[in-house]
């Protein structure tokens, strides 16, 4: 999926995998991990711009739509 996102969106979007079993990752992303756990979301969780959107599975079409919508939203804010 990372290669497809890079191909479609160039430098405008990127995919990063974070293993929250790693103490350093948990500490660095504490706010998002806390939100995920407080809401009872199931891993894996897809997070876009610090907001957990999808949990329990990785849905390629849903992620592509969410990234597209986020980029359109940013373009509108810049206009």
* pLDDT for res 46: 93
Query: Could you tell me the end-to-end alpha-carbon distance of the chain, in angstroms, rounded to an integer?
Result: 30
Report how many domains make up the chain: 1
* pLDDT for res 8: 87
The model carries a pTM of 0.80
* pLDDT for res 79: 67
Residue range of the domain that includes 56: 2-78
Least confident segment among 18-22, 51-55, 57-61: 57-61
Q: What is the pLDDT of residues 1-48, one digit of tens each?
A: 778 888 888 888 888 899 999 999 999 999 999 999 999 999 999 999
Q: Report the C-alpha gap between 60 and 68 in whole angstroms.
A: 12
């Amino acid at each position: 999926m990372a290669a497809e996102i890079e191909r479609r969106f160039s430098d405008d979007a990127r995919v990063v995998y974070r293993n929250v079993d790693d103490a350093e990752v948990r500490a660095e992303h504490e706010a998002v991990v806390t939100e995920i756990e407080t809401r009872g979301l199931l891993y894996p969780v897809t997070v876009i711009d610090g907001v957990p959107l999808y949990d329990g599975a990785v849905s390629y079409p849903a992620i592509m739509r969410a990234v597209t919508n986020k980029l359109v939203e940013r373009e509108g804010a810049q206009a």
